[in-house]
A = this chain, B = another copy of it.
């Protein structure tokens, strides 16, 4: 499914959040350090899934990221802010995949894909995604 989507286009994403660049995000090469992009993805994931009033993860379970793939597409320069788009790609039995696009102005600086698994907080094992959560994720 991700093959059919162009993650470098803003119109691919409907869920948006942002991060403000910090001076210390830069490194001595002069641009924003590439590890900070993992943080941008986390900001996108949290905005996508975090709802303190009505949590996505059923009681006793939690989402755990098991894989993150980052494609760096352009050097990112301080100062400014990045817009972070997030989109559901697919849902499996106990996992789902989301895509991110990191934009500054009109330029896509990175795209990413994250695989999240629903874990039982006690057994630390993957558990099936309940239908209600599946429906809610698909609605995003």
Residues of A within 8 A of B (CB): 18-20, 22-24, 26-31, 33-39, 41-43, 46, 50, 64-72, 78-79, 81
Contact = CB atoms under 8 A, between A and B. Distances in A.
A19 B81 CA distance: 10
Interface of A is mostly: mixed
Given A18-B20, A46-B79, 7 more contacts: A22-B42, A23-B42, A24-B36, A35-B35, A35-B38, A35-B39, A68-B72
Contacts of A23: 27-28, 33, 39, 42-43, 46
Contacts of A19: 20, 22
A39 B68 contact: no
A71 B67 contact: yes
Nearest to A113: B69
Contact of A69 (B37, B41, B67): B67
Contacts of A39: 22-24, 35
B42 A35 contact: yes
Contacts of A31: 28
A24 to B, nearest CB: 4
A64 to B, nearest CB: 8
